[in-house]
Amino acid sequence: MSRESNSMQDLNDLNGEGKIAAVIRLTRWREHVPFTVPLTVVGGLLAVDPLSMPVDWRLLSVLTANLLAMSFAFMLNDIEDAPDDALDVNKKSHNVISSGLLHRREGLIITWATFIVSFLLYAASGTLALLLGMITLALCYLYSAHPFRFKARPFTDVISHALMLSGLLIATGYFTYGNEPGAVWLVIAAAALFSAYGQFYNQVADYTVDKQAGLKNTVVLLGKRGTAILSYLSIAMALICMAAAIMQGLFPNWLGTVLVIGVIACSLFPWELDMRGNLAQDGGNLQRPALIIANLLALVWLASNLGLLSIA
């Protein structure tokens, strides 16, 4: 094949299949699907299970809306961070805007189209789901967009992260079906606190880079030690909230057996990396197996609710 033919093929890949692959990479779906699915599903099941009702098409609607909202958040983050990521070899290779696989204008068009579809699906899921979805989408925007950049401000970085990436996901699932959460707030709080722990953990790991970059987020304000203490408090409070929710009988008793099976299965394998693929520190090696178990519990519970799995 001639050099000219090779060049033409490369150009076609970039304009066709290459563009599609770049858009998929821009969503960074691998980073948010593993927690968006179980949180949304559990939220819906917490509403319908006490009524002995099966979920319906609305769960799929709000789940897709949440998935697209998280995609919107990650896409906008890469677009806004592109100029800075272009200065770092590793970050540039992971950012399709910085690396030139997508132009900024193309990325923005796809990103805002994702926003619109997510909004419409929230609207189809009900009034309360739409209200919470609008808050979620607003936080997704404010977290990364200039000049707001909640991610670069102390405390708002953690609060917005905990709400949009956890608390609001489970809340939209619940309020699609119910409007009297009661003790379900314990589960929502637990999810938000687990997410806050993850943010604190990541900030401690990124402390040196963030400080050199001139960021003024929580870890730069409090230091590594202070932020680490907050991470431990967050995980402790999350476990307390979840224990209280279990004692309130919010979950089927048989899920405990599935939990034990999941824990035993995951303990058979070595876990050395955290969720971002870095060498785990301070318990970060528990992040991946915890998400696997969360997905197992949510999907088995969903299968039982739909009558696909009979459990005495």
Half-sphere exposure of 210 (CA within 13 A, CB side): 22
Is 145 buried (19+), middle (13-18) or exposed (0-12) by CB count in 10 A?
Answer: middle
On the question of pLDDT at 12 being above 60, the answer is: no
pLDDT at residue 15, rounded to an integer = 61
Q: Which range among 177-186, 264-273, 289-298 shows the weakest confidence by mean pLDDT?
A: 264-273
Longest dimension (CA), the chain: 71
Tokens 């990436």: give the residue. Answer: 165
On the question of pLDDT at 11 being above 80, the answer is: no
- Please state the rounded mean pLDDT for residues 294-300: 97
Higher local confidence (pLDDT), 205 or 113: 113
- Answer whether 28's CB lies under 8 Å from 76's CB: no
Pick from 272, 270, 275, 276: which is nearest to 294 by CA? Answer: 275
Where in the chain are the domains? 31-251
- Answer whether 197's CB lies under 8 Å from 203's CB: no
- Please state the rounded mean pLDDT for residues 112-126: 97
On the question of pLDDT at 273 being above 50, the answer is: yes
pLDDT tens digits, residue range 48-102?
999 999 999 999 999 999 999 999 999 999 999 888 878 777 778 889 999 889 9
CB count, 10 Å around CB of 303? 13
Please state, rounded to an integer, the average pLDDT across all residues of the chain.
Answer: 90
pLDDT tens digits, residue range 198-243?
999 888 888 887 777 677 899 989 998 999 999 999 999 999 999 9
- Please state the rounded mean pLDDT for residues 261-290: 86
pTM equals 0.91
- Answer whether 278's CB lies under 8 Å from 206's CB: no
- Answer whether 26's CB lies under 8 Å from 230's CB: no
Pick the CATH number of 31-251 from 3.40.50.300, 3.40.50.2300, 3.40.50.1980, 1.10.357.140: 1.10.357.140
Q: What pLDDT band is residue 38 in, cutting at 50, 70 and 90?
A: very high
Higher local confidence (pLDDT), 262 or 15: 262
pLDDT at residue 3, rounded to an integer = 47
Q: Which two tokens stand for residue 154?
A: 């102390």
